[in-house]
């Protein structure tokens, strides 16, 4: 009787192992049939090669983004407008200063002075928040300060 139980246990064990082997075999064939490769080694090698390729593409994209960020610092980012009255006797603040700066506080200032005779426009280059060739007026300095702090 004990022998029958042992034989039944072995039979059950062999049946379980057979089911597991068939499931693994079907899973293996499903893997290899969808990739058109015959060996699991070929599939793994292609996955590793694909992973390396994706890593290289990611590094190239990362470098490009870093270059774009560095280049974007040179674009106009800070803009301000200051209105003022250059002459005591005339009414209103029709004159104004426009300041256009990049992230390094380099750029240009446009000074629009309104008079009875017409409108006069002056420009000055700015490097690191200071006038390059000409001294800045207090309105122009105020425009730079306003642009930097905005």
143 domain-assigned:
yes
As a whole number of angstroms, the distance between CA 17 and CA 23 comes to: 10
In tens, the pLDDT along 14-66 reads: 999 999 999 999 888 887 777 776 677 777 888 899 999 999 999 999 999 99
Give how many domains the chain has, as a whole number. 2
- Of the chain, the percentage scoring pLDDT greater than 90 comes to 43
pLDDT at 135 over 80: yes
Cβ–Cβ under 8 Å, residues 32 and 42: no
The answer to whether residues 117 and 88 belong to one domain is yes
Q: Which of 51, 72, 93 is the last residue of a domain?
A: 72
138, part of any domain: yes
Tell whether the model's pLDDT for residue 150 goes beyond 70. yes
Instruction: Tell whether 113 is covered by a domain.
Output: yes
**57 and 104, same structural domain?**
no
> At residue 106, does pLDDT exceed 80?
yes
DSSP category for residue 84: E
Report the predicted TM-score, pTM, of the whole model to 2 decimal places. Answer: 0.56
């Amino acid at each position: 009787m004990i022998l029958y139980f042992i034989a039944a246990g072995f039979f059950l064990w062999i049946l379980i192992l057979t089911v597991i082997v068939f499931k693994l075999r079907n899973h293996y064939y499903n893997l290899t049939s969808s990739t058109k490769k015959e060996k699991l080694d070929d599939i793994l090698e292609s996955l590793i090669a694909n992973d390396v390729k994706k890593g290289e593409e990611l590094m190239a994209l990362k470098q490009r983004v870093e270059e774009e960020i560095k280049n974007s610092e040179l674009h106009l980012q800070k803009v301000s407008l200051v209105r003022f009255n250059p002459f005591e006797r005339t009414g209103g603040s029709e004159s104004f200063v426009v300041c256009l700066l990049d992230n390094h506080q380099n750029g240009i200032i446009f000074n629009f002075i309104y008079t009875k005779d017409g409108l006069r426009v002056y420009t000055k280059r700015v490097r690191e928040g200071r006038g390059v060739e000409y001294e800045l007026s207090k309105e122009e300095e105020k425009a730079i300060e306003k642009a930097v702090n905005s």
